[in-house]
Structure 1
Amino acid sequence: MDGLARVESPHAVRTPRLVLRPVGPGHLADLVALKGDEAAFGLMLHGTRSPAQARQDLEDDMAFWAVRGYGTWAVHLAESEAFLGIVALSERPDGRGVALRFALWPHTRGKGYAREAARAAVEFGHRQAGLPRIIAVAREDNRASRGVLEDLGLRCAGEFPRDGHRMLVYESLRPPAPPAQQGEG
């Protein structure tokens, strides 16, 4: 950090241990490294990305935020500002809906960061963005991601084959609004 007071986006989200910030130009180097790492990004929908692809993804993600008011966040450790990875709400290219995605550095796994970031993204999606349904897709054999999704309360709602793997579709439905309190007349 450069010592200047950071101006937070209205779309930044704080959790007890994390800060989620909409991705921007300052995240490019971290995104190129993360998206080029097989252990971090190999199971994502399009797999690892070249530096040029990561740059294009960033431009697309910034444009998506501008139009939709939700998108991809860079996940930072609150106490040190360390970049841990990404969490996102984005349209799936197969038309299945708005999907939760997350990819964190392998050395951060097992500490609950993915759960914390994913929970914050789903809550933002339902409450701030007004999304009635958020899905997530995980390979059947990706037990770590499936565990995160199930811990968040997402329920398996379908499946489909992709590249010889069984893909499971999970969903989160926006909780119904509490009934309006009626005044006594």
Structure 2
Amino acid sequence: MQEIETARLYLRQFTPNDLEDLYRFYSDSEVMNYVSEGVRNREETAADLFLIIADWEKHAFGLWAVVNKENNQLIGDGGLRFLGKTPEVEVGYVLAKAYWGKGLASEVAAASLKYGFEALKLKKIVAVANTENRSSRRVMEKVGMRYQHNLEDTERVYYSISRKIYQSKVV
């Protein structure tokens, strides 16, 4: 089972036992405001959890359960996944409201980029956010990603970073 430890977080693979904790923040309208699927009910959360677990089995990467080291509580998800039905891999993160504004999303994103470039040897990682989601855009920029363009016919922006640029910033 793939796990990563950061300064304040454990990133581990999800298990079926995480359903209630995942539902706690997937059902929060403020947390899910900018997430394309929006608020999830319990059945939708269970289906999402099944897909997250299946992604790890199929691709050797996916979204991690983000666990706060301080209290060992699951506080969000984050990691790598395919961007829709494209071959591009995106970094994403969703945190419970109580953990906003503490730099934890940046910690998740940075660990995800490191895993993607160093363990998976990806050539590029992208990120997409709602145009108005300044916090998410700030996270992308903080971890070295750069704005590329707006997605056609949407209110979403597209950021990316190449392995070459990532490596030049890490060294």
Q: TM-score, normalised by structure 2?
A: 0.91
After TM superposition, list the pairs within 5 Å mapping 1:64-103 onto structure 2. 64-95=55-86, 97-103=88-94
2:25–2:31 contact (8 Å) kept in structure 1: yes
One-letter amino acid of the structure 1 residue matched with residue 129 of structure 2: A
User: Residue 78 of structure 1: CA displacement?
Assistant: 1.4
Give the alignment partner of residue 170 of structure 1, picking from 145, 159, 169. 159
Alignment partner, residue 3 of structure 1: none
Which segment drifts farther, 93-102 or 80-89?
93-102
Question: Hey, which bits of structure 1, 4+ residues long, moved more than 2 A?
Answer: 175-178
Q: Which 5+ residue runs of structure 2 have no aligned equivalent? A: none
2: CA distance between counterparts of 1:72 and 1:88? 4
Report the counterpart of residue 128 of structure 2 in structure 1. Answer: 137
Aligned residues: 167
Aligned to 2:36: 45
RMSD of equivalent CA atoms: 1.7
Q: Deviations for 1:150-176, whole angstroms, at most 9, x for unmatched residues?
A: 00000112211455x2x1100021137
Give the alignment's TM-score, normalised by structure 1: 0.84
Secondary structure at the residue paired with 1:67?
helix
- Structure 1 counterpart of 2:119: 128
Q: After the TM superposition, which residues 20-59 of structure 1 pair with which residues of structure 2 at under 5 Å, given as runs? A: 20-59=11-50
Higher helix share: 2
Report deviation, 1:135.
Answer: 0.6
